[in-house]
Amino acid sequence: MGIPTYDQLLGANIGRPEIQNFVGALAGKKAPKGIFITTSAFHENAREYVAGLHQKIILIDGRRLAELMIEHGIGVAEEHAYSVKKIDSDYFDEA
C-alpha cells in the first residue's frame, strides 16, 4: 500500500494528474490499494477519477485529516472539557 503526503499552496487543489501519477506508482509496486493524503483539497476531477478505478484509493484532504487528528487525539491538546448533566428522576420520586 502506498501513502504519499502532498502539501499544496493555499487554495491549490490536487487534480486528476497527481492522482494518476500516484496510481501509476502503485501499479509499479503491485500495490492493490493506497491512501493519498493532502493538507489541501481534491479537485472534483480527481474524486471522479478515483470513483471509476478498480483499485481501492482513499483520498484524505486537509479537513478530513484534521477531523481524524481530533478524533484520535494526534497533534491536539484539550483546551476545555464540559460535563453534561441530566435530571435524576429517582431523586424526585415519592417514597
Cα 7 vs. chain centroid, distance in angstroms? 14
Is residue 62, in this structure, part of any structural domain at all? yes
Between residues 8 and 34, which one has the greater pLDDT?
34
**Residue carrying the nine cell digits 492522482:** 19
Q: What is the pLDDT of residue 91?
A: 87
User: Each residue of 70-84: pLDDT tens digit?
Assistant: 999 999 998 999 999
The CATH number covering residue 43 comes to 3.40.1340.10
Query: Containing domain of residue 29, as a range?
Result: 5-76
Cβ neighbours of residue 18 closer than 8 Å, sequence gap 6 or more = 6, 36, 46
Do β-strands 5-6 and 33-38 pair in parallel, antiparallel, or remain unpaired?
A: parallel
pTM score, two decimals? 0.73
Given a cut of 90, whether residue 11 has pLDDT beyond it is no
Is residue 25, in this structure, part of any structural domain at all? yes
Is residue 20, in this structure, part of any structural domain at all? yes
